[in-house]
Amino acid sequence: MEAGYLYHRCHPWRPDDFHHSTHRLVRAGVAKNVVSIAALVNTVLSSVMAVITSQGGIVRDVLAMPGIENIAVNGRANQTLAAIAIDPLSDKIAPTASAQAQVTRTAQAA
């Protein structure tokens, strides 16, 4: 028997065969699972961010920006926006004159 044969039988790879044993660092099944888990985590985090950054929070952030003078809200506003528009403490946002009654009804709707 030659020495190379015995060395190859005792070791799964020889130093000169290194490129053959490392061409797949991660198996395809493992990679697929990692990508699936990452996509699931991304979806969960996106859902959490959607709840945290609600429309009311965004409107309040815009109202707090320098350079914003007045925001006029029409009758098509949803309940959150209508409630902010009729809040007496909010001085930069108000319903338009023609939509005052509609916005007030929308804000008070349960």
Cβ contacts of 78 within 8 Å, gap of 6 or more: 55, 106
Please answer whether residues 85 and 73 qualify as being in contact, where contact means their C-beta atoms are separated by less than 8 angstroms. Answer: yes
| Residues composing the chain | 110
pTM: 0.53
pLDDT at 10: 56
User: If residue 18 lies in a helix (H) or strand (E), which one and from where to where?
Assistant: helix 18-21
Backbone φ and ψ of 68, nearest 5° = -90, 120
pLDDT in tens, the chain (110 residues): 555 555 555 555 555 555 555 555 667 788 888 999 999 999 999 988 877 777 888 888 899 999 999 999 999 999 999 999 999 998 899 999 999 999 999 999 84
pLDDT of residue 31: 83
**What residue ranges do the domains of the chain occupy?**
1-52, 54-110
- The helix (H) or strand (E) run that includes residue 71 is strand 71-73
pLDDT of residue 99: 94
